Amino acid sequence: MTLTLNVNGKPSTVTVSDGSMPLLWVLRDLLGLTGTKYGCGIEICGACTVLVDGQPEKSCDMDVSSAVGRRIVTIEGLSANSSHPAQVAWIANQVPQCGYCQSGMLMSVAGAMQAGHHGASIMGEVNNLCVCGTYPRIKAACSKL
Amino acid sequence: MNIPNPLNRPSMEQSSRRAFLGTATSGLTLAFFLPEVSRIDELNAAPVGTTVNAWLQIGADESITLTVGSSEMGQGSFSGLAQVLAEDLMVDYAKVQTVQGGPTLATIAPIGTSINTVGSSVIRTNFWKMRDAAAGAREMLVQAAMQLAGDAVRTNFTVANGVVAHKPDAKTWTYGALAAAASKLAMPASAPLVPDTQFRLIGKTMPRFDIPHKVNGSAVYGIDVRLPNMVYAVIKHAPSFGGTLAKAPAAPSGYMVIPTKVVAGTNRGLEAVGNVNAVAVVGPNTWDTWQRARSLNVTWNLPANAASLNTAQFLADAQALAKNATPYAAGAPNGPGTLYTVEGDATAANSAIAAAAKVVDATYSLPYVSHACMEVLNCTVDYVAGVKCEVWAPTQSAKAVLSLVATLMPALQPSQITVHTTYLGGGLGRKAEVDFVSQALQVAMVVGKPVKLMWPREEDFTHDQYRPMALVHARAGLTASGQVMGWSYRNISPSILAQRGVPLGPKGDSQGYEGSQDLPYAFGTGLTEYVTHPSQIPVGFWRSVGASINTFAVESMVDELAVAAGMDSYQFRRSLLTDPRWIAVLDAVATLSGWNSAAASGHFRGIAIGTAFNSIVAEVVEISNVTSTGFTVSKVSIAMDCYLAVNPGQIEAQLTGGMVHGLNAALYGKQTFVNGAAQAKNFSKSRMIRPSEMPQVAVTLVPNPTVSDRTKAIGGAGELGVPTLAPALANAYYRATKNRVRALPFFPNATMGD
Ligand code: FES
Ligand code: FES
């Protein structure tokens, strides 16, 4: 079946065998937006986090059919040139190590900011896993947002 | 400035070789050798001499490019090398482009032939080589300027920021303008290095080059590689280690099912060469293919001894070997269960302990632990029979990938093989293995299209090469006044090296006893033994490996001795130490943690110290909210002496990350087995700490500032946060509860949901 999604402000048409393919794999394999990562596939790690209508959602467990008609923002669409305040803070605080979890981390932070959180209260909304243990720098970066 | 993502560049190897060799007149190219390190060969056995594996290129366009073969998995070593280079080349750090070199078998100009990224090695083994190469290049450029100026007096010239100035006539040349002339000169035998007092970069916290890619989704990890016409392969292994395919299943319509076997060099324990231990399902995208793999009905043969391949049996075997093991004998088969004497003498140690006023006897156990890199194992291959094989892999060992391709595809010429190292979403030692690469190669040889092979998280957890399990039996005797008279230590653990076909000498497996030999304490008469555990569950390198096992047992035991002696844990250790470096690190962590002032009410501290990769590290863990079901890890203080810190901020990040790795393992890390099948299949059964559970961290580096001295060994940082965490935590827990946790993890039944 052919579906039209709104990804990063643009309509994107994809053909899937059925509507149950998770949004994660549609983004990565069909649309080539590989910034969104697979970590666990079972809604635990948060590496796959994207914004859906402004809310952080784990794309590994969201059927693509249920994403139709909603505004999807991935890390590639967070800003045109890494200018989102969270991205700027991430560079300033040298947050990433391996970096694999950081797309999801940043999308969770961006979602919390959209919901009106700032500074220390952002961390209360971020539950993503980072195996590299970058949490202190994430906290430091968020504290100024 | 960036590390090019592999898809943003043409075949790096080919284009670079052309550039380096074909256009010598347009720039200066230096080829040099960075020592190769592998855990097996050990640093000292690294080959020296003629092989070229790193390139420095100074272009007529003022570009400065450093091509190296090591892998970037978050440790920041690319940027660290650039920092060292820029110092002695006397250029702006931001001008250095670092490029991921791929290895090649073509002999003409091998780039990045081999640097295995293991053993926390990249900076510590390359520091002086890099400085010498940079200084040599700088002096060649100055000589070119001397020829142009017609002035042979070196002191008439100065260098700053990539510009050579001739003082008498106030003339200047950029490196770009001198590069062509310099390329015709010989590299000087030695060149003066920038004095420590003039360091602009070494010892300073500098930003990493790779970070901008890692905040906008543009960093290409292995799993992100996409090629035109690519198909997707999803692996499905026999559930049990040692299991083999009974009958090839029928392929679902529109999909292929390709059996893959264990190839020589990737065999570990039960996974024997030739075993068809997996099938790869190949299809149009990851998800649909994965669903077919999940529902595929495959019949597997269990290994003959499947019933005994379980965690309880492994522990029972270890307990028996703690009492009774056959000593190593030169020339004997020395199979599993052999007792190796690492150092000391059993009779002397036993009689010293027997004569003591007090004896402490304790047995510690550690489980198998998975790696669980955030990026699952994966590999992409573009193979065209008789034409080429191009591999993209998140590998810590590009050279092993290269050898594997050459072995599996003998018809290809060396120049037809290219290996691209992508960014790694964590390596942790697991990505030094090439089993997943061998599967992708086998699939590529069948499908005749570019193929990306991935391991679902469940495969990644259940077909790991685990941090070995271990049982340690320790005994020590004290005088009535608390002096240690005798120390006896026996570690029973599966051998990583033996599973890799490395013959074990009279001391056994260096990975097995790492962290338990050459202890700095005044222990009287000591004995260290290592026994090879017979379990054939695959084991492998894991961030700090043996040091993480033995430091837990040694430093828990030392704490038990402190209690027996009625002394403070810090003061007791200090009284047993004589090496000033160890004492300085211990003092530093005590100061940092406020050890000498009382902890806040309800807070309890534990201390531990250890060594790995030439660095000495100590940690103090502080816990609070201690109840019968759990506690909060409030604060971890870390002090390290790595002799010289190139980028202190990055070292702090690595120590913190290593500490978290150690904390995850100490609290929750374990893999168990039933019938040879691993039971923890995802993070749900292998919990890790969340952001809200992160303790406060403080790091201090000693000595600081450092003096650079060629005769001193520079220590590693990447793995150093791990080993002392678990014992410091157990020691803090003892302070809080008077319960000694001797078996890790603390919470074996913990689970994690979303
Ligand atoms: S991949 Fe979606 S939560 Fe882990
Ligand atoms: S930076 Fe590596 S997992 Fe978070």
The per-residue pLDDT for range B123-132, each reduced to its tens digit, is 777 788 889 8
Place of tokens 């002999």: B107
Q: List beta partners, residue B341.
A: B529
Query: Using CB atoms, which residue from A22, A28, A41 is nearest to B457?
Result: A41
How open is the CA angle B107-B112-B115, to the nearest 5 degrees? 120
The better pLDDT of the pair B66, B705 is held by B66
State the virtual CA torsion across B570, B574, B580, B583 in degrees, nearest 10.
Answer: 0
Say how many Å lie between the CA of residue B472 and the centre of ligand 2.
Answer: 32
Predicted pLDDT at B73: 72
Residues 343-382 of B with CB under 8 A from A: 372-376
- The nearest CA of chain A is from the CA of B44 a distance in Å of 29
Predicted pLDDT at A5: 98
Is residue B212 a contact partner of residue B260, using CB atoms and an 8 Å limit?
Answer: no
The better pLDDT of the pair B347, B32 is held by B347
| For range B737-750, the mean pLDDT | 97
Predicted pLDDT at B66: 85
**Ligand 2 neighbourhood includes A94 CB (under 6 angstroms):** no
| For range B183-192, the mean pLDDT | 88
**Ligand 1 neighbourhood includes A100 CB (under 6 angstroms):** no
Q: For residue B16, name the pLDDT band (cuts at 50, 70, 90).
A: very low
Low-confidence winner among B49-58, B60-69, B200-209, B396-405 (lowest mean pLDDT): B49-58
Q: Looking at the predicted structure, is the pLDDT value of residue B9 above 50?
A: no
Mutate to test the interface with A, among B215, B371, B396, B688 (most CBs of A within 10 A): B215
DSSP secondary structure code for residue B663 in this structure: H
Predicted pLDDT at B212: 94
Q: Contact B208/A132, CB-based, under 8 Å? A: no
Is residue A29 a contact partner of residue A95, using CB atoms and an 8 Å limit?
Answer: no
Beta strands in B167-298 (DSSP E): 171-174, 231-237, 244-247, 256-260, 278-283
Q: For residue B122, name the pLDDT band (cuts at 50, 70, 90).
A: low
The better pLDDT of the pair B13, B382 is held by B382
Q: Which of B609, B543, B620, B604 is nearest to B582 (CA)?
A: B609
The residue whose CA has the least distance to atom 3 of ligand 1 is A43
Q: Which phi and psi (to 5°) does residue B348 adopt?
A: -65, -45
Among the bound ligands, name the one nearest to the CA of residue A42. Answer: 1
Any CB–CB contact under 8 A between B457 and chain A? Answer: yes
Domains delineated in chain B: 17-216 (3.30.365.10), 222-299+371-462 (3.30.365.10), 311-370+466-737 (3.30.365.10)
Mutate to test the interface with A, among B7, B78, B83, B214 (most CBs of A within 10 A): B214
* Terminal alpha carbon distance of chain B: 38
Q: Contact A91/B425, CB-based, under 8 Å? A: no
Query: For the segment A63-118, what is each residue's pLDDT rounded down to a tens digit?
Result: 999 999 999 999 999 999 999 999 999 999 999 999 999 999 999 999 999 999 99
Residue B124 three-state SS: helix
